[in-house]
Amino acid sequence: MPPVFRFAPSPNGLLHLGHAYSALLNFERARETGGRLLLRIEDIDMTRCRPEYEAAIYEDLAWLGISWETPARRQSEHLADYRAALDKLSALGLVYPAFESRAEIAKLVAAREVNGPWPRDPDGAPLYPGEAKSLSAGERKRLVESGAPYALRLDMAAACRRVARLTWGELGEGPAGEHGTVAAQPEAWGDVILARKETPTSYHLSVVVDDALQGVSEVVRGRDLFHATAVHRLLQVLLGLPEPVYRHHVLICDETGRKLSKSSRATGLRELRAAGVTPGGIRQLVGLGQVSLGVSQRLP
């Protein structure tokens, strides 16, 4: 079976050099290996995603000379798949509703920090400090029926008890040079959100479900998602899904060393194109040069 790769942008802004790099690496890997390249539109956050950004993704990728299998999978059209996975995790007793708002969570964290620093996840966000896990069944029912908004969280401690030592195969490199067999530490993320009252999924859940449904065998993506892979591996094991291999690549940074953002105009593909930069020029800018990567060359 040929290997399967995917590029999975969110249409919540215009693509920049960092996206071009990731998409080109996926494209090159698929070409080198005789594999398939899929495109997935990660548009579950309906408040931030816009059709014009999705249209721009297709156009910018085509301009770069990238081709992918059509149709692209649009996550917003597959909510039932995510709901089914969520139901499976709920049936294992691993999901609970938490009713605190963001402001309430911030307050709880501040209160706990009176006694010293409250633990943070690998992205620097405080772990969930609430106690919704221990609400009684009756209290949960009452709150749900009252129409209160909630997030469905993974009971991380219970989930970790169900799995043996978790690892993944890393062909790229993590922020501390991790390579090869990497030990996954999902507990570092605390009780992550799997879904919300209005949306039966989250980034973590849908990425895992889609990679499995689409038969993705090698995930090539930015190093900013390296640590999130621990959560993805945990969900894969809990849901009985196959394990892809991962290749996290370096991030393209601006001159101050910061990761590019969709709002930084200087590195937007549209702006560069308007300024006369060619697709070959974009390859040069991200360090890929004009020629395709040789099979023996180690990707970043």
Q: Which residues contact ligand GLU (rule: CB under 6 A)?
A: 8-10, 42, 207, 221, 225
In whole angstroms, the minimum distance from the beta carbon of 197 to ligand GLU comes to 22
In whole angstroms, the minimum distance from the beta carbon of 40 to ligand GLU comes to 8
Q: Locate 89 and state its tokens.
A: 């995790």
The amino acid at 298: R
Cβ nearer to ligand GLU, comparing 83 with 223: 223
In whole angstroms, the minimum distance from the beta carbon of 296 to ligand GLU comes to 25
Cβ nearer to ligand GLU, comparing 159 with 220: 220
| Beta bridge partners of residue 221, listed in sequence order | 248
The amino acid at 257: G
- Residue 145: Cβ-neighbour burial (10 angstroms; 0-12, 13-18, 19+): exposed
Cβ nearer to ligand GLU, comparing 140 with 270: 270
Cβ nearer to ligand GLU, comparing 10 with 236: 10
Q: Which segments within the chain are labelled E, that is strand? A: 4-7, 36-41, 69-74, 95-98, 151-154, 167-170, 180-183, 193-196, 218-222, 245-249
In whole angstroms, the minimum distance from the beta carbon of 221 to ligand GLU comes to 4
Residue burial 104-118, b: 16+ Cβ < 10 Å; e: rest: ebeebbeeeeeeeee
In whole angstroms, the minimum distance from the beta carbon of 207 to ligand GLU comes to 5
In whole angstroms, the minimum distance from the beta carbon of 115 to ligand GLU comes to 35
Angle at 236 between CA 49 and CA 86, to 5 degrees: 60
In whole angstroms, the minimum distance from the beta carbon of 42 to ligand GLU comes to 4
The amino acid at 42: E
Cβ nearer to ligand GLU, comparing 155 with 224: 224
d(CA 173, CA 63): 29
Angle at 34 between CA 31 and CA 37, to 5 degrees: 60
Cβ nearer to ligand GLU, comparing 10 with 150: 10
Cβ nearer to ligand GLU, comparing 3 with 9: 9
Q: How many residues make up the chain in this entry?
A: 300
The amino acid at 254: D
